[in-house]
Chain A
């Protein structure tokens, strides 16, 4: 008992609480929850009555039976994913080419005007061939696919399909020793890995939350989709007859996505067996009713919040990257440009994993935002001034294959590297903020990077052993 004359200190109150807890018979928590549930049941039964028809309910259940069935659930999911990517790729081709044509025409006209006005060559070069060209690439490569992909993705989200995906993938995550809700945070990662890392707050167990944070980067975010879609289109798609081109390209992107999910599971499994050992905890997942998507909101959310937001961020990072590239390509050190020297230095490492030094250089420059890898790459290749005419994806393929000697191995490994490599600076910072640990943020950055190097090295070595690619 506490003396009532003087106010007790907090520690005294806590000690008394512990004492009382010991004296109480049975599990306190259990008793409290039990009486709470009983009360809720009583109140609800009095207020709710079932009348009229239940056809709508039956329909929901029939659909759920189908899309979450053990046999058809995953195939239906893959089919939907394929349709979404096919629509994105087939639909984005033409607007992408038109945008590129228009934007590069402006570059030509403007730099021509600058030259005619007697502006020094390095001002024109820096502004128009450096900064502007970077921006033009970002807009023409990224805007059309995003403007198609995001509304479709948001529609499935509004409809209520995402929890079903989590339901379908639950058994895989459980076997990997991870939390089933990780399927939801992974799905968020397809939009943005930083958002996916924040979304892991829905996972109660700290161990499983950390697994989800560290492996979120293994699914491609929308900053990396344009790279994957472009590579799929100009390498995989272009190897097929025109009628099948976009189907083949979509299949390639779906393959990369499935591979990403595979790596997420594999790495979760490895982490749960090694540094983050433990069992998967159980949880209840609610399957919400299907709701008719709100078209106006879908367009607003996907176009303003996602497409323009991502594009804006990409442009802000692309402009300085374009400037850096132009400077590197135009500042000479001895006989060579800085770009050539640094790319040359990275070249042996790049070749060993089936890429080249310029690609690695582009990835280093693009650390702030993955969106700008391809534009940076192209600017780096163009920096040598070999080609000035760029008006569409066909020109891009000619540049990469004919002038830079890309092979199918380069394209495949670049897709793998894009999928697996380190998260962007924002995601690394978010991992630090969510874990409050520099150690885990470092692990979160190095784990994917190491995986990327290892996997690309293996595919390059294997391909070369069988005489494929160079």
Chain B
């Protein structure tokens, strides 16, 4: 794994775009981010597909899926609609949120715009509430430089508690480092310590109480804290998932996948 810190060396040596082939993949990666931050451009750069990109917010309203292999691991990557938040109820936001929560990707790459970082971080923090398997890609570094902005990704990584990688998706700059980080986070080799926004003591008390109830009602559910916060907010989609048992089913399905996954690894080891 040496040489991955080299930003200038070509990514092509280990990256193999697989286009639409997404069968028999090892890991699933989601691409989230604000509108118009270059998610589809990054998606195209990784998969070799030519998903339509356009310089306006709202270009992608449905999920696009593609595949690529990096360092002998096969990934399925899902390009989600760009959203400013995961809180409101428009359909594109729901598509994005449902996938991050219920699709259980092995890692989420949140693509951010280096020149509008503050606004983009709102979404990053919301994704961090749902999952800790996050890599933040600070895209459009060239545009930020053009505007005279300097982004300190180390400071960001320290504050957010997850890997933060500067990239220029259009030229492929930084993709190496990004994929190395994705490999580490999605395999579990890299442990993250995501920043979680805490509220007032009264609020935290309510959240904690509800968490215990949720964990009792749906044992093993991922991220009961986030679910508790959503239930306190009266989120209809989460209420429905709890009522219909979707949450519980999801947990058992995930456990089956884990079993299959470790079997695969055992088989590969035997060969």
Contact of B152 among A35, A47, A297 (CB under 8 A): A47
Shortest distance from the beta carbon of A199 to any chain B beta carbon, whole Å: 6
Cβ–Cβ contact B210 & A16, under 8 A: yes
Asked if A241 lies at the interface with its beta carbon under 8 angstroms from chain B, I say: no
Asked if A8 lies at the interface with its beta carbon under 8 angstroms from chain B, I say: yes
**Interface residues as binary, A14-36 with B (CB distance below 8 Å gives 1, 0 otherwise):** 10111011011100110111011
Cβ–Cβ contact B122 & A14, under 8 A: no
Query: Which B residue's beta carbon lies closest to that of A20?
Result: B206
**Interface residues as binary, B132-162 with A (CB distance below 8 Å gives 1, 0 otherwise):** 0000000000010011111111011001100
Asked if A204 lies at the interface with its beta carbon under 8 angstroms from chain B, I say: yes
Decide yes or no: A20 and B50 within 8 Å by CB, A39-B125, A201-B61, A201-B90 being known contacts.
Answer: no
Cβ–Cβ contact B243 & A10, under 8 A: yes
Cβ–Cβ contact B56 & A163, under 8 A: yes
Q: Cβ of B206: which chain A residues have Cβ within 8 Å of it?
A: 20, 23-24
Asked if A305 lies at the interface with its beta carbon under 8 angstroms from chain B, I say: yes
Q: Cβ of B195: which chain A residues have Cβ within 8 Å of it?
A: 39, 43
Q: Cβ of B58: which chain A residues have Cβ within 8 Å of it?
A: 181, 184, 199, 202
**What are 23 A-B contacts defined by CB distance under 8 Å?**
A8-B213, A10-B217, A10-B218, A10-B243, A17-B231, A18-B234, A35-B198, A36-B126, A39-B125, A40-B119, A40-B122, A44-B121, A46-B159, A47-B117, A54-B148, A157-B54, A160-B55, A160-B56, A184-B58, A198-B62, A201-B81, A286-B35, A305-B50
Cβ–Cβ contact B149 & A49, under 8 A: yes
Q: CB within 8 Å of A: which residues of B?
A: 35-36, 50, 52-58, 61-62, 81, 87-92, 115, 117-119, 121-122, 124-126, 143, 146-153, 155-156, 159-160, 170, 195, 197-200, 202-203, 206, 209-210, 212-214, 216-219, 228-229, 231-234, 239, 242-243, 245
Shortest distance from the beta carbon of B51 to any chain A beta carbon, whole Å: 10
Contact of A39 among B54, B115, B197, B233 (CB under 8 A): B197
Decide yes or no: A37 and B122 within 8 Å by CB, A24-B232, A305-B52 being known contacts.
Answer: yes
Contact of A291 among B55, B88, B119, B149 (CB under 8 A): B55
Q: Cβ of A49: which chain B residues have Cβ within 8 Å of it?
A: 149-150, 152
Q: Cβ of B50: which chain A residues have Cβ within 8 Å of it?
A: 297, 300-301, 304-305
Cβ–Cβ contact A57 & B122, under 8 A: no
Determine which residue in A13, A39, A49, A51 has the highest number of CB atoms from chain B within 10 A of its CB, and name it: A13
Contact of B232 among A17, A202, A288 (CB under 8 A): A17
Asked if A253 lies at the interface with its beta carbon under 8 angstroms from chain B, I say: no
Shortest distance from the beta carbon of A50 to any chain B beta carbon, whole Å: 6
Other than A10-B217, A21-B233, give 12 A-B pairs with Cβ distance below 8 A. Answer: A7-B219, A21-B234, A29-B87, A36-B125, A39-B121, A39-B197, A48-B152, A56-B147, A184-B56, A201-B91, A294-B170, A301-B53
Shortest beta-carbon contacts, A-B, top 5: A44-B118, A40-B121, A204-B90, A202-B58, A52-B148
Cβ–Cβ contact A297 & B197, under 8 A: no
Q: Cβ of A325: which chain B residues have Cβ within 8 Å of it?
A: none
**Interface residues as binary, A340-376 with B (CB distance below 8 Å gives 1, 0 otherwise):** 0000000000000000000000000000000000000
Cβ–Cβ contact A36 & B57, under 8 A: no
Contact of A288 among B57, B126, B146 (CB under 8 A): B57
Q: Cβ of A162: which chain B residues have Cβ within 8 Å of it?
A: 54-56
Shortest distance from the beta carbon of A286 to any chain B beta carbon, whole Å: 5
Shortest distance from the beta carbon of A181 to any chain B beta carbon, whole Å: 7
Cβ–Cβ contact B153 & A47, under 8 A: yes
Cβ–Cβ contact A53 & B148, under 8 A: yes
Q: Cβ of B170: which chain A residues have Cβ within 8 Å of it?
A: 294
Query: Which B residue's beta carbon lies closest to that of A181?
Result: B58
Asked if A9 lies at the interface with its beta carbon under 8 angstroms from chain B, I say: yes
Q: Cβ of B89: which chain A residues have Cβ within 8 Å of it?
A: 204
Asked if A439 lies at the interface with its beta carbon under 8 angstroms from chain B, I say: no
**Interface residues as binary, A45-71 with B (CB distance below 8 Å gives 1, 0 otherwise):** 111111111101100000000000000
Asked if A172 lies at the interface with its beta carbon under 8 angstroms from chain B, I say: no
Cβ–Cβ contact A11 & B36, under 8 A: no
**Interface residues as binary, A269-286 with B (CB distance below 8 Å gives 1, 0 otherwise):** 000000000000000011
Shortest distance from the beta carbon of B94 to any chain A beta carbon, whole Å: 9
CA distance A253 to B149 in the complex (A): 44
Asked if A159 lies at the interface with its beta carbon under 8 angstroms from chain B, I say: yes
Query: Which A residue's beta carbon lies closest to that of B57?
Result: A286
Q: Cβ of A202: which chain B residues have Cβ within 8 Å of it?
A: 57-58, 61, 90, 92
CA distance A162 to B53 in the complex (A): 13
Cβ–Cβ contact A301 & B92, under 8 A: no
Decide yes or no: A43 and B121 within 8 Å by CB, A32-B229, A201-B90 being known contacts.
Answer: yes
CA distance A29 to B213 in the complex (A): 21
Shortest distance from the beta carbon of B229 to any chain A beta carbon, whole Å: 7
Decide yes or no: A297 and B53 within 8 Å by CB, A9-B217, A29-B233, A47-B151 being known contacts.
Answer: yes
